[in-house]
């Protein structure tokens, strides 16, 4: 089940291969880290282990893929503009880019993450 976004946090981001931890203290430290380093307010959402890639030609899973820990978090609406460029050097992506049909060729996340996107398809 997706975590509910706070009212002023609509832009969801995905940080591939990022591990924060399971405790509330870990989540608070991450949110503090983001403010200290980027001056943006964020809401920790969850971490998801990716599923294996699927070969589009025959439907089989691709050996050696999957199991990566990806972090999902939301950025405060007022901070999205100042975070838009800074995030790129860390490989942090908007969820809309991650899940766009042209980029999301293999179902590595549970279907429910599509509900995190802030635009309507």
For residue range 56-111, what is the model confidence (pLDDT) as tens digits?
888 888 888 888 999 999 999 999 999 999 999 999 999 999 998 888 877 899 99
Average pLDDT of the chain, as a whole number = 92
User: 42-60 burial, b for 16+ CB within 10 Å, e for fewer?
Assistant: bbbbebbebbbbbeeeeee
Task: State the average pLDDT over residues 110-118.
Answer: 88
Q: Provide the pLDDT confidence category of residue 121 given band limits of 50, 70 and 90.
A: very low
Residue (of 68, 77, 62, 65) closest to 14 by Cα position: 68
The fold adopted by the segment(s) 9-112 is: Alpha-Beta Plaits (3.30.70)
The two three-digit tokens of residue 117, written as one number: 């996107």
Q: For residues 92 and 10, what is the distance between their CA atoms, to the nearest angstrom?
A: 16
Q: Which residues are 70's β-sheet partners?
A: 48
């Amino acid at each position: 089940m997706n975590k509910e976004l706070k009212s002023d946090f609509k832009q969801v981001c995905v940080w591939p291969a990022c591990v924060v931890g399971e405790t509330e203290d870990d989540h608070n430290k991450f949110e503090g880290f983001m403010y200290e380093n980027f001056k943006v307010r964020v809401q920790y959402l969850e971490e998801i282990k990716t599923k294996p890639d699927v070969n589009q030609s025959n439907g089989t899973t691709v050996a050696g893929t999957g199991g990566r820990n990806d972090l999902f978090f939301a950025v405060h609406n007022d901070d999205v503009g100042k975070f838009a460029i800074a995030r790129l050097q860390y490989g942090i992506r908007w969820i809309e880019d991650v899940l766009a049909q042209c980029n999301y060729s293999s179902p590595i996340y549970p279907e429910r993450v599509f509900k995190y996107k802030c635009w309507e398809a």
